[in-house]
């Protein structure tokens, strides 16, 4: 970390508000003199036959080479003949766990002021296997796949995460009383605790519960995440989507993507820069003078970003 050689990382600005909040990250990284050199990749406008999606092969190669990156939200264009962008990334890069820390921000009051938990979502199977078919007319079937291998892999990661982040407990979230076989298999591998600290769970529950957790602390504008992939790949991204309702209006809260970039810096063990940026974001929100509209303020994305840079 002390070397002057910049570290290469892949950046997907993404769709909708993605480019605006990615700009915010680039500005803050410049101001903080973070030794990162971005390799920027945009979602293509035609299907790349090598990925069967609008993601280019070169962009996936960039992540595979750099092993680290930051991703803005991606809206999947509706239509046939291509795969969802997010699904393509997960499958092609083997992104098996999505880590979503969620903690109350000092100075920003919500109904709950002491939330501090981490959800770890199994990212490759469960209800998201994409295996659906019609059994007979009027009856369709969607297969929920749970395998021993993927359950064990995400459970091991959850305990690894807990140990390396000073967390005390890992809880498995399940409905094994109803789904005895699938959730039962998941539970058998991770059964334990009482207190919520780190929560590990199958794909669909992860989607729902982490969005609920975001609601506890002030909404989707605030919650970061990091995808962990095979061979040590880390691709950080905000939990939220492309927010088409506010895209291009300089209204988006860049906090979630900024905190995701902080997670990326921690993964790279650039802890000084990570702390500096993290503290500047929290100070800006706590001061209350510059807050975006989703937090009840009137600041634009760019004003908030400037305030964070000034607080570095
Ligand atoms: P969304 O997260 O984009 O928006 C939900 C609501 O939250 C909207 O009102 C939006 O304005 C608000 N919001 C989200 N992020 C915000 C921010 N940073 N600042 C202020 N307000 C914010 O969810 P959606 O509308 O269900 O999805 C829109 C598109 O995004 C869809 O095409 C979906 O497939 C895609 N999506 C992508 C990802 C991803 O790339 N990881 C995740 C979720 C959804």
DSSP for 124-178? SSBGGG--EEEEETTEEEE--B--HHHHHHHHHHHHHHHHHTT---EEE---TTT
> What is the 57 CA–ligand 1 centroid distance (Å)?
25
Instruction: Say yes or no: CB of residue 221 within 6 Å of ligand 1.
Output: yes
Residue with tokens 């510059």: 290
Could you give the percent of the chain with pLDDT greater than 70?
92
What pLDDT does 210 receive? Answer: 85
Mean pLDDT, residues 104-129: 87
What pLDDT does 166 receive? Answer: 93
Residue with tokens 């570290």: 7
For the CA of 293, the closest atom of ligand 1 is 20
Q: Does pLDDT of 1 surpass 60?
A: no
Bridge partners (DSSP) listed for residue 228: 97, 234
Per-residue pLDDT tens digits for 39-90: 999 988 888 999 888 999 999 999 999 999 999 999 876 766 677 898 889 9
Instruction: Say yes or no: CB of residue 15 within 6 Å of ligand 1.
Output: no
What pLDDT does 188 receive? Answer: 58
Could you give the percent of the chain with pLDDT greater than 90?
66
> What is the 247 CA–ligand 1 centroid distance (Å)?
10
> What is the 149 CA–ligand 1 centroid distance (Å)?
31
Please classify residue 54 by burial: count the beta carbons closer than 10 Å to its beta carbon, then call 0-12 exposed, 13-18 middle and 19+ buried. buried
Rounded CA-CA distance 206/98 in Å is 9
Instruction: Say yes or no: CB of residue 34 within 6 Å of ligand 1.
Output: no
pTM of the model: 0.91
Rounded CA-CA distance 38/198 in Å is 31
Mean pLDDT, residues 120-128: 91
Mutational pocket test of ligand 1: of 240, 252, 260, 303, the residue with most ligand atoms within 8 Å of the beta carbon: 240
Instruction: Say yes or no: CB of residue 241 within 6 Å of ligand 1.
Output: yes
By C-alpha distance, which of 128, 173, 180 is closest to 155? 173
Mean pLDDT, residues 131-155: 93
Rounded CA-CA distance 215/209 in Å is 10
Residue nearest to atom 33 of ligand 1 (CA): 75
What pLDDT does 289 receive? Answer: 96
What pLDDT does 274 receive? Answer: 97
Rounded CA-CA distance 127/175 in Å is 13
Instruction: Say yes or no: CB of residue 18 within 6 Å of ligand 1.
Output: no
> Confidence class of residue 178 from pLDDT cuts 50, 70 and 90?
confident
Structure tokens at 7: 């570290």
What pLDDT does 192 receive? Answer: 36
> What is the 180 CA–ligand 1 centroid distance (Å)?
33
Quick check: helix, strand or coil at residue 96? strand
Residue nearest to atom 36 of ligand 1 (CA): 241
Neighbours of 26 (CB within 10 A): 18
SS (H, E, C) 193-216: CCCCCEEEECHHHHHHHHHHHHHH
Bridge partners (DSSP) listed for residue 102: 117
Residue nearest to atom 11 of ligand 1 (CA): 243
> What is the 15 CA–ligand 1 centroid distance (Å)?
10
Quick check: helix, strand or coil at residue 292? strand
Please classify residue 28 by burial: count the beta carbons closer than 10 Å to its beta carbon, then call 0-12 exposed, 13-18 middle and 19+ buried. buried
Per-residue pLDDT tens digits for 264-302: 999 999 999 999 999 999 999 999 999 999 999 999 999
| DSSP state for residue 180 in the 8-state scheme | T
Quick check: helix, strand or coil at residue 221? coil
Mutational pocket test of ligand 1: of 76, 243, 259, 302, the residue with most ligand atoms within 8 Å of the beta carbon: 243
Rounded CA-CA distance 71/74 in Å is 8
Residue nearest to atom 38 of ligand 1 (CA): 241
Instruction: Say yes or no: CB of residue 220 within 6 Å of ligand 1.
Output: yes
Work out the angle between the directed axes of helices 255-267 and 18-31 (0-180°, nearest 10).
50
> What is the 241 CA–ligand 1 centroid distance (Å)?
3
Rounded CA-CA distance 44/48 in Å is 8
Rounded CA-CA distance 189/148 in Å is 8
Instruction: Say yes or no: CB of residue 237 within 6 Å of ligand 1.
Output: yes
Residue nearest to atom 17 of ligand 1 (CA): 221
């Amino acid at each position: 970390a002390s070397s002057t050689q910049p570290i290469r990382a892949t950046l997907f600005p993404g769709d909708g508000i993605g480019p605006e909040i990615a700009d915010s990250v680039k500005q803050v990284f410049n101001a903080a003199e973070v030794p990162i050199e971005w390799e920027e990749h945009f979602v293509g406008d035609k299907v790349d036959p090598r990925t069967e999606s609008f993601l280019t092969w070169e962009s996936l190669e960039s992540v595979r080479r750099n092993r680290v990156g930051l991703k803005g939200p991606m809206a999947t264009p509706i239509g046939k003949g291509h795969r969802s962008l997010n699904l393509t990334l997960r499958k092609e890069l083997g992104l098996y766990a999505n880590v979503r820390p969620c903690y109350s921000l000092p100075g920003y009051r919500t109904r709950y002021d002491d939330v501090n938990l981490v959800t770890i979502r199994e990212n490759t199977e469960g209800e998201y296997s994409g295996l659906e078919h019609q059994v007979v007319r009027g009856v369709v079937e969607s297969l929920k796949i749970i395998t021993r291998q993927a359950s064990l892999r995400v459970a091991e990661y959850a305990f690894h995460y807990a140990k390396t982040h000073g967390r005390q407990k890992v809880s498995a979230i399940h409905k094994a009383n109803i789904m005895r076989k699938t959730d039962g298999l998941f539970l058998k591998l991770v059964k334990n605790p009482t207190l919520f600290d780190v929560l590990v769970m199958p794909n669909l529950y992860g989607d729902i519960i982490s969005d609920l957790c975001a609601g506890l602390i002030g909404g989707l504008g605030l919650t970061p995440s990091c995808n962990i992939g095979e061979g040590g790949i880390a691709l950080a991204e905000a939990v939220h989507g492309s927010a088409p309702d506010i895209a291009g209006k300089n209204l988006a809260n860049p906090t979630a993507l900024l905190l995701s970039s902080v997670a990326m810096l921690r993964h790279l063990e650039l802890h000084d820069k990570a702390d500096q940026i993290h503290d500047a974001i929290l100070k800006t929100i706590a001061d209350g003078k510059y807050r975006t509209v989703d937090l009840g303020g009137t600041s634009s994305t760019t004003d908030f970003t400037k305030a964070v840079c000034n607080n570095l």
